[in-house]
Amino acid sequence: MESVFFVILAVVTVFSALMVILQKNPMTSVLFLILAFFSTAALYVLLSAPFLAAVQIIVYAGAIMVLFLFVIMLLNLNRIKEEGSPLLKALGMMVAGMLLVIAAVVIRSTVIPSDSGFVAGTEPGFGSVEAIGRSLFTTYLLPFEIASFLLLAAIIGAVVLAKKKL
């Protein structure tokens, strides 16, 4: 059952991620990006991390993508002009190839325990709000606080940018 869902979701994710870069219309690519985020969130649910899935939807599919859509609608980019420069194309291919090599190395070096099944068994309470909250405020307190500090700086920056007279 899980593997069926996984295959469906994986196909949807990869397909929509590809469509993001293959679509000519920026509006359609953004909508495919949202679909990719949603199916990734569904994959998180399969990994018994529903909280992470909800966060994924709120932050990426919700707030950020609505902003994206706004910008595209306001700028009214109907068609992006074809960037014909062969140098840029070659550069892009090079970067993508290097990324592929890195990803392949990482995947090859990942040690998968031989006794684990398709979905690893988890202890009860794994991925719940309580478990995530506890680990955020104990084990990962410093990174958590640093991240919140960064976000605060970003908020203040946005206020400074938006308000001419303070």
Chain positions contacting other proteins, by CB under 8 A: 27-28, 31, 34, 50-51, 54-55, 57-58, 61-63, 65-66, 69-70, 73, 128-129
Please say which residue, 101 or 160, places its beta carbon nearer to other proteins.
Answer: 160
Please say which residue, 9 or 57, places its beta carbon nearer to other proteins.
Answer: 57
Please say which residue, 92 or 125, places its beta carbon nearer to other proteins.
Answer: 125
d(C-alpha 13, C-alpha 40), whole Å: 7
Question: In angstroms, what is the minimal distance from the CB of 148 to other proteins?
Answer: 15
Question: In angstroms, what is the minimal distance from the CB of 161 to other proteins?
Answer: 16
One DSSP character per residue, the chain reads -HHHHHHHHHHHHHHHHHHHHH-SSHHHHHHHHHHHHHHHHHHHHHTT-HHHHHHHIIIIIIIIHHHHHHHHHHHT--SPPP---HHHHHHHHHHHHHHHHHHHHHHHHPPPPTT--SS----TTTTSHHHHHHHHHTTTHHHHHHHHHHHHHHHHHHHHHH-S--
Question: In angstroms, what is the minimal distance from the CB of 118 to other proteins?
Answer: 17
Question: In angstroms, what is the minimal distance from the CB of 128 to other proteins?
Answer: 5
Please say which residue, 17 or 50, places its beta carbon nearer to other proteins.
Answer: 50
